[in-house]
């Protein structure tokens, strides 16, 4: 039996890569279900981020993974508490580049930061495509 029932994680998942896949697989090993909140194009532009792949396609890729139960949309920074409550999540996970940033969610569920896969990121892929 897995320790948690439903995990949730958030991300942009642009130019889907092995670091994304490994993170999602590791989360799904901890919980029976995994909900993934994919950031909308509008939210990315608020954050000053431009995606190569539009939201609907990033969502379709994540939704096709065996380790993912459900994909939802991330529209703003504030929705995390209400998502955790609405979807009855007992685990919140992010890569450790976010270490400590979401500890305010600890009254609502377990919060875990997993080590990132080294040597790969969307930013690095974008840079190498430009060269």
Rounded Cα distance between 58 and 12, Å, is: 8
Angle at 66 (CA atoms; ends 88, 122), nearest 5 degrees: 90
| Cβ proximity to ligand CTP, 1 vs 16, nearer residue | 16
Q: Tell me the closest approach of the beta carbon of residue 89 to ligand CTP, in angstroms.
A: 15
Residue 44 C-beta: closest distance to ligand CTP, Å: 9
Residue nearest to ligand CTP (CB): 95
Q: Which residues carry out catalysis?
A: 47, 49
Nearer to ligand CTP, 6 or 20 (CB): 20
Is residue 13 within 8 A of residue 94, CB to CB? The reply is no
Give Cα separations from 50 to 43, 58, 117 (angstroms): 10, 13, 22
Q: Of 13 and 35, which has the nearer Cβ to ligand CTP?
A: 13
């Amino acid at each position: 039996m897995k320790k948690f029932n439903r995990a949730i994680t958030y991300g942009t998942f642009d130019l889907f890569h092995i670091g994304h896949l490994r993170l999602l697989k590791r989360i799904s090993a901890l919980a029976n279900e995994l909900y993934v909140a994919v950031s909308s194009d509008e939210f990315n532009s608020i954050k000053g981020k431009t995606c190569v792949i539009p939201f609907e396609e990033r969502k379709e890729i994540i939704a096709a993974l065996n380790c993912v139960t459900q994909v939802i949309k991330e529209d703003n920074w504030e929705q995390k508490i209400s998502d955790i409550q609405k979807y009855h999540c007992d685990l919140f996970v992010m890569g450790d580049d976010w270490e400590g940033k979401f500890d305010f969610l600890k009254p609502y569920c377990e919060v875990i930061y997993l080590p990132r896969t080294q040597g790969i990121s969307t930013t690095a892929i974008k840079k190498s495509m430009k060269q």
